[in-house]
Chains A and B, each alone.
Chain A
Protein backbone atom coordinates (compact mmCIF):
# COMPACT_ATOMS: atom_id res chain seq x y z
CA UNK A 1 0.00 0.00 0.00
CA UNK A 2 1.07 3.59 -0.62
CA UNK A 3 0.19 6.63 1.48
CA UNK A 4 -1.04 9.39 -0.83
CA UNK A 5 -2.17 11.55 2.06
CA UNK A 6 0.02 12.94 4.80
CA UNK A 7 1.61 11.55 7.97
CA UNK A 8 -1.15 13.17 10.03
CA UNK A 9 -3.95 12.08 7.68
CA UNK A 10 -2.78 8.92 5.88
CA UNK A 11 -4.78 7.77 2.85
CA UNK A 12 -3.68 4.32 1.77
CA UNK A 13 -4.19 2.94 -1.73
CA UNK A 14 -2.88 -0.09 -3.55
CA UNK A 15 0.40 0.66 -5.33
CA UNK A 16 -1.26 -0.79 -8.46
CA UNK A 17 -3.15 2.51 -8.68
CA UNK A 18 0.12 4.35 -9.29
CA UNK A 19 1.80 2.38 -12.07
CA UNK A 20 1.08 4.41 -15.21
CA UNK A 21 1.13 2.41 -18.42
CA UNK A 22 1.27 -0.96 -16.64
CA UNK A 23 -1.38 -3.67 -16.98
CA UNK A 24 -1.77 -3.70 -13.17
CA UNK A 25 -2.86 -0.04 -13.23
CA UNK A 26 -5.30 -0.71 -16.06
CA UNK A 27 -6.86 -3.63 -14.18
CA UNK A 28 -6.98 -1.63 -10.94
CA UNK A 29 -8.97 1.23 -12.46
CA UNK A 30 -11.18 -1.18 -14.46
CA UNK A 31 -11.91 -2.69 -11.04
CA UNK A 32 -12.79 0.74 -9.66
CA UNK A 33 -15.13 1.49 -12.60
CA UNK A 34 -16.97 -1.83 -12.23
CA UNK A 35 -17.23 -1.88 -8.42
CA UNK A 36 -14.61 -4.58 -7.81
CA UNK A 37 -12.34 -2.16 -5.95
CA UNK A 38 -13.52 0.45 -3.48
CA UNK A 39 -11.84 3.77 -3.42
CA UNK A 40 -12.82 6.42 -0.91
CA UNK A 41 -13.93 9.80 -2.26
CA UNK A 42 -10.90 11.54 -0.74
CA UNK A 43 -8.49 9.01 -2.27
CA UNK A 44 -10.28 9.26 -5.63
CA UNK A 45 -9.94 13.05 -5.65
CA UNK A 46 -6.26 12.80 -4.76
CA UNK A 47 -5.43 10.10 -7.31
CA UNK A 48 -7.25 11.90 -10.10
CA UNK A 49 -5.98 15.35 -9.15
CA UNK A 50 -2.23 15.37 -9.93
CA UNK A 51 -1.59 18.74 -8.33
CA UNK A 52 -2.96 17.65 -5.00
CA UNK A 53 -1.13 14.31 -5.22
CA UNK A 54 2.21 16.12 -5.02
CA UNK A 55 1.30 17.24 -1.51
CA UNK A 56 1.27 13.65 -0.15
CA UNK A 57 4.46 12.20 1.34
CA UNK A 58 4.13 9.11 -0.92
CA UNK A 59 5.47 6.65 1.67
CA UNK A 60 4.80 2.95 1.19
CA UNK A 61 3.17 0.92 3.98
Chain B
Protein backbone atom coordinates (compact mmCIF):
# COMPACT_ATOMS: atom_id res chain seq x y z
CA UNK B 1 0.00 0.00 0.00
CA UNK B 2 1.49 3.32 -1.09
CA UNK B 3 1.01 6.38 1.12
CA UNK B 4 2.13 9.96 0.57
CA UNK B 5 1.33 13.08 2.57
CA UNK B 6 1.58 16.73 1.45
CA UNK B 7 0.45 20.01 2.98
CA UNK B 8 -2.27 22.16 1.32
CA UNK B 9 -4.77 24.85 2.32
CA UNK B 10 -7.69 23.74 4.48
CA UNK B 11 -10.32 21.73 2.61
CA UNK B 12 -11.85 18.29 3.22
CA UNK B 13 -12.35 15.80 0.45
CA UNK B 14 -11.78 12.18 -0.44
CA UNK B 15 -11.78 10.82 -3.96
CA UNK B 16 -10.87 7.35 -5.22
CA UNK B 17 -10.34 5.86 -8.69
CA UNK B 18 -9.87 2.21 -9.69
CA UNK B 19 -7.05 0.46 -11.47
CA UNK B 20 -7.67 -1.70 -14.51
CA UNK B 21 -6.96 -5.11 -16.01
CA UNK B 22 -6.90 -6.21 -19.64
CA UNK B 23 -9.09 -9.32 -19.92
CA UNK B 24 -8.25 -10.12 -23.53
CA UNK B 25 -6.50 -8.58 -26.53
CA UNK B 26 -2.98 -7.83 -25.25
CA UNK B 27 -0.38 -7.61 -28.04
CA UNK B 28 -3.10 -8.02 -30.70
CA UNK B 29 -4.37 -4.54 -29.78
CA UNK B 30 -1.08 -3.02 -31.06
CA UNK B 31 -2.00 -4.23 -34.56
CA UNK B 32 -5.56 -2.90 -34.59
CA UNK B 33 -7.40 -5.82 -33.01
CA UNK B 34 -9.85 -5.16 -30.15
CA UNK B 35 -9.23 -5.37 -26.41
CA UNK B 36 -11.62 -5.86 -23.50
CA UNK B 37 -10.62 -4.00 -20.38
CA UNK B 38 -12.18 -3.82 -16.92
CA UNK B 39 -11.97 -1.67 -13.79
CA UNK B 40 -10.92 -3.65 -10.72
CA UNK B 41 -11.39 -3.29 -6.99
CA UNK B 42 -7.88 -1.98 -6.39
CA UNK B 43 -8.16 1.75 -5.89
CA UNK B 44 -6.08 4.88 -5.46
CA UNK B 45 -7.47 7.34 -2.94
CA UNK B 46 -6.64 11.02 -2.51
CA UNK B 47 -7.89 12.56 0.71
CA UNK B 48 -7.43 15.94 2.30
CA UNK B 49 -8.01 16.78 5.92
CA UNK B 50 -6.34 18.98 8.49
CA UNK B 51 -4.40 20.81 5.72
CA UNK B 52 -2.76 17.59 4.56
CA UNK B 53 -3.18 15.60 1.34
CA UNK B 54 -2.85 11.85 1.70
CA UNK B 55 -2.52 9.45 -1.24
CA UNK B 56 -3.03 5.74 -0.62
CA UNK B 57 -3.22 2.98 -3.20
CA UNK B 58 -3.48 -0.78 -3.39
CA UNK B 59 -3.11 -0.82 -7.18
CA UNK B 60 0.02 -2.87 -7.92
CA UNK B 61 2.63 -0.63 -9.54
CA UNK B 62 4.49 -1.67 -12.70
CA UNK B 63 1.96 -4.43 -13.45
CA UNK B 64 0.10 -2.61 -16.23
CA UNK B 65 -2.89 -1.95 -13.95
CA UNK B 66 -3.26 1.75 -14.69
CA UNK B 67 -2.06 3.30 -11.42
CA UNK B 68 -0.88 6.40 -13.32
CA UNK B 69 -4.30 6.91 -14.90
CA UNK B 70 -6.09 6.29 -11.59
CA UNK B 71 -4.00 9.08 -10.06
CA UNK B 72 -4.77 11.38 -13.00
CA UNK B 73 -8.49 10.64 -12.63
CA UNK B 74 -8.45 11.27 -8.88
CA UNK B 75 -6.58 14.57 -9.35
CA UNK B 76 -9.01 15.60 -12.09
CA UNK B 77 -12.00 14.76 -9.93
CA UNK B 78 -10.64 17.00 -7.18
CA UNK B 79 -10.09 19.81 -9.65
CA UNK B 80 -13.56 19.48 -11.19
CA UNK B 81 -15.04 19.17 -7.69
CA UNK B 82 -18.15 17.23 -8.67
CA UNK B 83 -19.04 13.96 -10.44
CA UNK B 84 -19.06 15.39 -13.97
CA UNK B 85 -17.55 12.28 -15.53
CA UNK B 86 -17.07 13.75 -18.99
CA UNK B 87 -15.10 16.66 -17.60
CA UNK B 88 -13.09 14.47 -15.23
CA UNK B 89 -12.24 12.03 -18.01
CA UNK B 90 -11.24 14.82 -20.39
CA UNK B 91 -8.96 16.45 -17.85
CA UNK B 92 -7.41 13.11 -16.85
CA UNK B 93 -6.70 12.37 -20.52
CA UNK B 94 -4.84 15.68 -20.86
CA UNK B 95 -2.78 14.80 -17.80
CA UNK B 96 -1.99 11.37 -19.28
CA UNK B 97 -0.85 13.02 -22.53
CA UNK B 98 1.68 15.09 -20.59
CA UNK B 99 2.86 11.93 -18.82
CA UNK B 100 2.90 9.39 -21.68
CA UNK B 101 2.79 11.34 -24.94
CA UNK B 102 0.09 9.48 -26.82
CA UNK B 103 -2.24 7.59 -24.47
CA UNK B 104 -5.15 5.81 -26.13
CA UNK B 105 -7.57 7.06 -23.48
CA UNK B 106 -8.44 3.54 -22.35
CA UNK B 107 -6.90 3.83 -18.89
CA UNK B 108 -8.41 7.18 -17.92
CA UNK B 109 -11.80 6.18 -19.40
CA UNK B 110 -12.04 2.88 -17.55
CA UNK B 111 -10.87 4.52 -14.33
CA UNK B 112 -13.41 7.35 -14.67
CA UNK B 113 -16.45 5.34 -15.74
CA UNK B 114 -15.61 1.91 -14.29
CA UNK B 115 -17.18 -1.31 -15.51
CA UNK B 116 -15.97 -2.81 -18.77
CA UNK B 117 -14.67 -1.18 -21.93
CA UNK B 118 -14.33 -2.42 -25.50
CA UNK B 119 -11.50 -0.70 -27.33
CA UNK B 120 -10.08 -0.83 -30.82
CA UNK B 121 -7.63 1.35 -32.75
CA UNK B 122 -9.42 1.60 -36.09
CA UNK B 123 -6.82 3.84 -37.76
CA UNK B 124 -3.90 5.99 -36.64
CA UNK B 125 -6.25 8.83 -35.67
CA UNK B 126 -9.47 6.95 -34.97
CA UNK B 127 -10.25 4.92 -31.87
CA UNK B 128 -13.44 3.10 -30.88
CA UNK B 129 -14.47 3.03 -27.24
CA UNK B 130 -17.62 1.37 -26.03
CA UNK B 131 -18.73 1.13 -22.41
CA UNK B 132 -20.16 -2.31 -21.73
CA UNK B 133 -23.07 -2.83 -19.36
CA UNK B 134 -22.58 -6.42 -18.20
CA UNK B 135 -25.53 -8.77 -17.74
CA UNK B 136 -23.53 -11.26 -15.69
CA UNK B 137 -20.83 -11.12 -13.05
CA UNK B 138 -17.49 -12.88 -13.14
CA UNK B 139 -16.48 -14.24 -9.78
CA UNK B 140 -13.61 -16.30 -8.32
CA UNK B 141 -11.09 -14.26 -10.31
CA UNK B 142 -7.60 -13.99 -8.87
CA UNK B 143 -4.31 -12.48 -9.93
CA UNK B 144 -1.19 -14.60 -9.61
CA UNK B 145 2.15 -12.83 -9.74
CA UNK B 146 4.72 -15.08 -11.39
CA UNK B 147 7.50 -12.54 -10.88
CA UNK B 148 9.13 -9.71 -12.79
CA UNK B 149 10.09 -10.86 -16.30
CA UNK B 150 13.83 -10.88 -17.01
CA UNK B 151 13.39 -9.13 -20.32
CA UNK B 152 12.07 -5.59 -20.63
CA UNK B 153 8.51 -5.06 -21.84
CA UNK B 154 10.06 -3.29 -24.85
CA UNK B 155 11.79 -6.57 -25.72
CA UNK B 156 8.45 -8.41 -25.49
CA UNK B 157 6.74 -5.94 -27.85
CA UNK B 158 9.78 -6.07 -30.13
CA UNK B 159 9.73 -9.89 -30.14
CA UNK B 160 6.10 -9.97 -31.29
CA UNK B 161 6.83 -7.27 -33.89
CA UNK B 162 9.73 -9.35 -35.28
CA UNK B 163 7.56 -12.48 -35.45
CA UNK B 164 4.80 -10.52 -37.16
CA UNK B 165 7.20 -8.94 -39.66
CA UNK B 166 8.63 -12.35 -40.59
CA UNK B 167 5.31 -14.14 -41.04
CA UNK B 168 2.39 -11.69 -41.28
CA UNK B 169 -0.05 -14.24 -42.67
CA UNK B 170 0.43 -16.65 -39.78
CA UNK B 171 0.39 -14.05 -37.04
CA UNK B 172 -2.61 -12.22 -38.48
CA UNK B 173 -4.40 -15.58 -38.17
CA UNK B 174 -3.32 -15.79 -34.51
CA UNK B 175 -4.51 -12.21 -33.91
CA UNK B 176 -7.84 -12.98 -35.59
CA UNK B 177 -8.26 -15.99 -33.30
CA UNK B 178 -7.49 -13.76 -30.30
CA UNK B 179 -10.14 -11.33 -31.58
CA UNK B 180 -12.68 -14.19 -31.67
CA UNK B 181 -11.90 -14.94 -28.01
CA UNK B 182 -12.14 -11.26 -27.06
CA UNK B 183 -15.53 -11.09 -28.80
CA UNK B 184 -16.66 -14.26 -27.06
CA UNK B 185 -15.71 -12.79 -23.66
CA UNK B 186 -17.86 -9.80 -24.63
CA UNK B 187 -20.80 -12.04 -25.57
CA UNK B 188 -20.51 -13.92 -22.27
CA UNK B 189 -20.56 -10.57 -20.42
CA UNK B 190 -23.68 -9.56 -22.33
CA UNK B 191 -25.22 -12.97 -21.65
CA UNK B 192 -25.37 -13.63 -25.39
CA UNK B 193 -23.25 -16.73 -25.07
CA UNK B 194 -23.04 -19.54 -22.53
CA UNK B 195 -19.40 -20.34 -23.35
CA UNK B 196 -17.58 -21.34 -20.22
CA UNK B 197 -15.38 -18.51 -18.87
CA UNK B 198 -12.69 -21.02 -17.95
CA UNK B 199 -12.42 -22.37 -21.49
CA UNK B 200 -12.10 -18.82 -22.89
CA UNK B 201 -9.20 -18.14 -20.52
CA UNK B 202 -7.55 -21.42 -21.59
CA UNK B 203 -7.97 -20.74 -25.30
CA UNK B 204 -6.71 -17.15 -24.93
CA UNK B 205 -3.66 -18.50 -23.10
CA UNK B 206 -2.97 -21.02 -25.90
CA UNK B 207 -3.01 -18.19 -28.42
CA UNK B 208 -0.67 -16.04 -26.31
CA UNK B 209 1.65 -19.05 -26.16
CA UNK B 210 1.41 -19.20 -29.97
CA UNK B 211 2.53 -15.54 -29.93
CA UNK B 212 5.53 -16.69 -27.91
CA UNK B 213 5.04 -14.34 -24.95
CA UNK B 214 4.79 -16.96 -22.19
CA UNK B 215 7.85 -18.53 -20.56
CA UNK B 216 8.25 -22.34 -20.28
CA UNK B 217 8.18 -21.97 -16.49
CA UNK B 218 4.87 -20.07 -16.62
CA UNK B 219 3.40 -22.57 -19.08
CA UNK B 220 4.23 -25.42 -16.68
CA UNK B 221 2.55 -23.52 -13.86
CA UNK B 222 -0.57 -22.92 -15.94
CA UNK B 223 -0.72 -26.58 -17.05
CA UNK B 224 -0.62 -27.62 -13.36
CA UNK B 225 -3.48 -25.27 -12.56
CA UNK B 226 -5.45 -26.59 -15.54
CA UNK B 227 -4.90 -30.17 -14.31
CA UNK B 228 -6.60 -29.10 -11.06
CA UNK B 229 -9.62 -27.84 -12.99
CA UNK B 230 -8.64 -24.17 -13.13
CA UNK B 231 -7.47 -21.82 -15.86
CA UNK B 232 -5.03 -18.93 -16.17
CA UNK B 233 -3.68 -16.56 -18.80
CA UNK B 234 -1.03 -13.89 -18.80
CA UNK B 235 -2.32 -10.34 -18.58
CA UNK B 236 -0.21 -7.74 -20.32
CA UNK B 237 3.14 -8.10 -22.10
CA UNK B 238 4.19 -11.44 -20.57
CA UNK B 239 7.76 -12.70 -20.36
CA UNK B 240 9.81 -15.44 -22.03
CA UNK B 241 13.02 -16.24 -20.20
CA UNK B 242 11.75 -16.81 -16.65
CA UNK B 243 8.70 -15.11 -15.09
CA UNK B 244 5.80 -13.73 -17.11
CA UNK B 245 4.36 -11.07 -14.78
CA UNK B 246 0.69 -11.14 -13.81
CA UNK B 247 -1.72 -13.99 -14.57
CA UNK B 248 -5.51 -13.81 -14.45
CA UNK B 249 -6.54 -17.07 -12.78
CA UNK B 250 -9.90 -18.70 -12.26
CA UNK B 251 -11.23 -21.77 -10.52
CA UNK B 252 -14.89 -22.44 -9.68
CA UNK B 253 -13.62 -23.65 -6.29
CA UNK B 254 -11.57 -20.70 -5.02
CA UNK B 255 -10.10 -22.80 -2.19
CA UNK B 256 -8.37 -25.07 -4.73
CA UNK B 257 -6.74 -22.01 -6.27
CA UNK B 258 -5.62 -20.74 -2.87
CA UNK B 259 -4.13 -24.13 -1.98
CA UNK B 260 -2.35 -24.27 -5.34
CA UNK B 261 -0.86 -20.80 -4.85
CA UNK B 262 0.25 -21.68 -1.32
CA UNK B 263 1.90 -24.95 -2.45
CA UNK B 264 3.59 -23.17 -5.35
CA UNK B 265 4.68 -20.27 -3.08
CA UNK B 266 2.99 -17.73 -5.34
CA UNK B 267 1.45 -14.35 -4.54
CA UNK B 268 -2.29 -14.56 -4.99
CA UNK B 269 -4.70 -11.62 -4.95
CA UNK B 270 -8.48 -11.84 -5.25
CA UNK B 271 -9.87 -9.27 -7.64
CA UNK B 272 -13.36 -8.10 -8.58
CA UNK B 273 -14.04 -7.09 -12.15
CA UNK B 274 -16.39 -4.40 -13.42
CA UNK B 275 -15.84 -2.12 -10.44
CA UNK B 276 -17.18 1.38 -9.98
CA UNK B 277 -15.25 4.25 -11.55
CA UNK B 278 -14.20 7.47 -9.87
CA UNK B 279 -15.96 8.00 -6.57
CA UNK B 280 -16.38 10.98 -4.25
CA UNK B 281 -16.10 9.27 -0.90
CA UNK B 282 -18.10 10.39 2.13
User: Do A and B come from the same complex?
Assistant: yes
Please list the residues of chain A having a beta carbon within 8 angstroms of any beta carbon in chain B: 1, 12-17, 20-21, 23, 25-41, 44-45, 47-48
Please list the residues of chain B having a beta carbon within 8 angstroms of any beta carbon in chain A: 22, 25-27, 29-30, 35, 37, 62-64, 66, 68-69, 99-104, 106-107, 119, 121, 124, 127, 152-154, 156-158, 161-162, 235-237
Q: Would you give the shortest CB distance from A40 to chain B, in whole angstroms?
A: 6
CB of A36 within 8 A of CB of B106, answer: yes
CB of A37 within 8 A of CB of B237, answer: no
Query: Contacts A35-B35, A48-B158, A48-B161 given; 7 further ones with Cβ under 8 A?
Result: A14-B101, A17-B154, A31-B103, A33-B157, A35-B104, A38-B103, A38-B121
Choose one: B37, B103, B127, B156; the contact of A33 (CB below 8 Å). B156
Choose one: A1, A23, A30, A38; the contact of B236 (CB below 8 Å). A30
Nearest-neighbor residue (CB-CB) of A41 within chain B: B124
Given contacts A13-B101, A33-B30, contact A26 B152 (CB under 8 A): yes
Cα-based distance from A36 to B106 in the complex (angstroms): 6
Specify the main secondary structure of chain B where it touches its partner.
Answer: mixed
Q: For B30, B101, B237, which residue has the most chain A Cβ atoms within 10 angstroms? A: B101
Sampled A-B contacts (13; CB under 8 Å)? A13-B102, A14-B101, A20-B152, A26-B152, A30-B236, A33-B29, A33-B30, A34-B29, A34-B235, A35-B26, A36-B100, A37-B101, A48-B157
CB neighbours of B35 from chain A (8 A): 34-35
Cα-based distance from A40 to B125 in the complex (angstroms): 9
CB neighbours of A30 from chain B (8 A): 62-64, 153, 236-237
Cα-based distance from A6 to B50 in the complex (angstroms): 52
CB of B152 within 8 A of CB of A38, answer: no
Q: Would you give the shortest CB distance from A36 to chain B, in whole angstroms?
A: 5
CB of B100 within 8 A of CB of A16, answer: yes
Q: Would you give the shortest CB distance from A19 to chain B, in whole angstroms?
A: 10
CB neighbours of A29 from chain B (8 A): 152-154, 156-157, 237
Q: For A15, A30, A35, which residue has the most chain B Cβ atoms within 10 angstroms? A: A35
CB neighbours of B153 from chain A (8 A): 25-30, 32-33
Cα-based distance from A60 to B237 in the complex (angstroms): 28
CB neighbours of A41 from chain B (8 A): 124
Q: Would you give the shortest CB distance from B251 to chain A, in whole angstroms?
A: 24
Q: For A15, A26, A33, which residue has the most chain B Cβ atoms within 10 angstroms? A: A33
